[in-house]
Amino acid sequence: MVPWDSKDRGRSPEPASPPNGSSSRGLVGRMEDELRLRGYSRRTRKVYLGHARRFLRYLGTDEPRSPEDDARRFLLHLLEERQVSRSYVNQAVSAVKFLYRYVLEAEAPTLRIPRPKVERKLPVVLSADDVARLLGALRNRKHRAILMLVYAAGLRVGEVVRLRPEDMDRDRMLIHVRQGKGRKDRVVMLSALALEAVKDYRRRERGRNWLFPGGRAGRHLTERSVQKVFKRAAAKAGIRKNVSVHSLRHAFATHLLEAGTDIRFIQKLLGHKSTKTTEIYTKVSKRTLQAIQSPLDRLKEEGRMGGAGGGAGTSSAPEEGAAEGRTREDGTREGGGVRGGWQVERASRSKGRPPKRSGGTGPGSAGTGPGHPDWWR
């Protein structure tokens, strides 16, 4: 059990919880203290504590006994009944493991809690035109400066709202991002255009502690407020993609990659620990995909297909192996062959009978051409 420090955060000392955790409130309180002592961020603490409360509420008891069985039932409840995402379930697994291992001090061999396989989804990327329309839809100077900084430097929404005036190095044209994700500092470039937008905003509104102060005194603008600003601007710009503020960070990385920037530099700008994380943008970059020609377009360039629709029967090139022959006045060819892309036979010698098409697949043929309902088979 973690000892209670009465001086911690100015709170009164709580009575020590029994070893078996007879109070769920005391159990969650002990978990919060353990998270603080281990240096977990405020957001991670909030997520873990929320999962712990839901887990204990689901069990209906303040005394969880069987780590593996209890956790399995809870995870199946989340997946099958609540039908939440697998990333959400993975967070719940981490929270429950932390509760058992560090608060209830369960032995590690008993914590065989499975994790569901995470979906590998590609990021939704805004095009350069999308970004220009979105920024152009902003009239509020403060909102415009925020979103321009996010796109210009690839910032996370939690990083841009926590910027301070001294973090903007105007002499070196750099932004100092302090204690970003993973409690890491990094330096990114400061766009001249974004700097002008910030100056324009700061001439009318100044905050002493924060570059973008919020409604409450001494507090920065909330992440939720920026998300709302983005959603309104995206709707006004006519962007129908499922995007968020983080999509501007995706666009920053993808557009740099398409412009030829080395992926290792992009990794450092984004603050990724490994290039494997950054490599996901190679899968959505049009630079890599546009370098590959579709085999369908190659057929047209080689003259194997004719017409814009690419439909069969419009090619003027004879089929491979087609016999050469003399063309009669009625359009048939002696010895078989190809005319207009269609295989034809000799016309019947019977008077008044039209020429037959052998295995025709063209318009109006008696076989399986486009005029037939099964022509595509």
Tell me if 230 sits within 8 A of 244, measured CB to CB: yes
Tokens of 159: 């990083």
∠ Cα 14 19 20 (to 5°): 110
In sequence order, which residues have a C-beta less than 8 Å from that of residue 59 and are 6 or more positions away? 70, 74
Question: What are 350's two structure tokens?
Answer: 């019977």
Which entry of 181, 202, 236, 372 is annotated as an active-site residue? Answer: 181
Which of the following is catalytic: 48, 144, 281, 333?
281
Angle at CA 137, nearest 5°, toward 136 and 140? 100
Active-site option among 143, 144, 249, 333: 249
Going by C-alpha positions, the residue among 69, 83, 81, 50 that lies closest to residue 114 is 69
Catalytic residue flag (residue 283)? no
Query: Under 8 Å CB-to-CB from 328, ≥6 apart: which residues?
Result: 334, 347
Of 51, 156, 250, 333, which one is the catalytic site residue? 156
* Token code pair at residue 291: 């370098």
115 is catalytic: no
Angle, in degrees to the nearest 10, between helices 141-153 and 223-236:
90
**What DSSP string runs through 174-232?**
EEEE-S-TTS--EEEE--HHHHHHHHHHHTT---SS-SSB-SSTT-BPPHHHHHHHHHH
Sequence-ordered list of residues with C-beta below 8 angstroms from that of 280, at least 6 positions apart, any chain: 122, 123
Instruction: Return the residue matching tokens 């490599």.
Output: 279
Residue 181 appears among annotated catalytic residues: yes
Q: Is 281 a catalytic residue?
A: yes
Q: How far apart are CA 251 and CA 234, in angstroms?
A: 14
Q: Please tell me whether residue 149 adopts helix, strand or coil conformation.
A: helix
The catalytic position among 164, 246, 268, 372 is 246
**Could you give the residue numbers annotated as active site?**
156, 181, 246, 249, 272, 281
